[in-house]
Structure 1
Amino acid sequence: MVQQDFTSPIMPQAIISAQQLTQSIQLQQQTLSIFSALNLEIFAGEQVAITGRSGSGKSTLLGILATLDQAVTGQLYVCGEPIHALNEEQRAAVRLKYIGFVFQSFQLLPHLTALENVMLPLRLQPGFHYAKAEQQARALLARVGLERQSAQTPRVLSGGEQQRVAIARALISEPEIIFADEPTGNLDGHTAEEIEQLLFDLNRERGTTLVLVTHDPQLAARCQRHFELRDGQLTEHAETAGV
């Protein structure tokens, strides 16, 4: 009889794996390096913050991890997909299947209602069914506290309400990963705290991986892992904190 070895734990698989990423931009006669030989692994269900000074490249890094941009060199795997080897159409398919976004400026379509904005990602998927999508969108709006505002357009919503709509929109495709770029940067202190708590609550409820860029050290400290991008190098802070 073959004896099983129960002493070796099963190692979790990284949902995001970046290996030797390098990014630079061309400025007239010189090349400006943003970061080089960057390595990063993020695991399913984690809360990860990336901080750094303005201009450090943290939003650029987030855009690459979220498949919106490509690094000059290096390898990137997202949900097992080799992003570095895919064309734009293939990367778009990965985003549609696995990724949700929350932006500082909300990025809602002004002529659509809150309900229609939340439903929008499902319209891009094959087999779109209006009644089912509407039911999902209404349920998410209720979860983020905006059930009564479903028929309102962004221009009559407060900043905090618009960000709640954006969060509901990011979640409607049931993504594996939520990327958030300064999600509370345009909000007042009290509203920012409410949005932060909502993001963490949804992370726990749904098991969705949360990766955010922020200038706020208190928000970063709430995440399980905290990385700082400085002088082109990514360093993980030794301390960790729960929500």
Structure 2
Amino acid sequence: MFFPIDTTIVYLIPAILLTLFAQAKVKSAFAKYSQVRTQNGYTGNQVAEKLLREQGIYDVDVELTGGKLSDHYDPRSKKVRLSSDIYNGSSVASVSVAAHEVGHAIQHAQGYSQLKLRNAIFPLARLGSSMAWIFIIAGLIFAEGGYTMMNIGIVLFSMAVLFQIITLPVEFNASSRAVNLLDSSGVIVANEKVGAKKVLNAAALTYVAAMATAVAQLVRLIALRNRRHR
């Protein structure tokens, strides 16, 4: 039986290559700077606590969480959660990641508009990403009403794409705050600042890749709809 080749897959190739490059950069940066201990010897946990208190934030706790590089800030419970390597580590990589998550906590405390927007659309983005493919697949299978179903799927998926786009400035801002806080608070010394920037820039590239992948997938879905219902 002959199955037609899906030529729309070519839209994803640049995004896939960018994702592989971003993953390699993150792995390389973390491998290198996880071995570079900071001169002042603060652990990620100590850095997070120190930076939060220096910013006058006393209602955010720092917790140990499972997994590797599972670090995040939870705005609902007001907790900075750090993986073991980051929580207990005193490397340039560890303090950089800890400071980045504190950056999100500061955004939350200060009512940073982009973070508020991202949090507001998150439920819609989650719903859109989970429901979109039901309509897309149905639209590809059924001739009658298929065009409409694919359009619904594309609109739903667009919510997830919008979320990825809004995420970028939020992450870049948190990283910028992190480097400045590490420097001004004396957690790192001058020659360690370069390493902190490299770690955080590598991590930020993964968000760029995620956005690029989402946009490429959206373009591909539109191409599939147009080809299917000419």
TM-score (norm: length of structure 2): 0.28
**Higher share in helix:** 2
**Higher share in strand:** 1
Higher Rg: 2
TM-score (norm: length of structure 1): 0.27
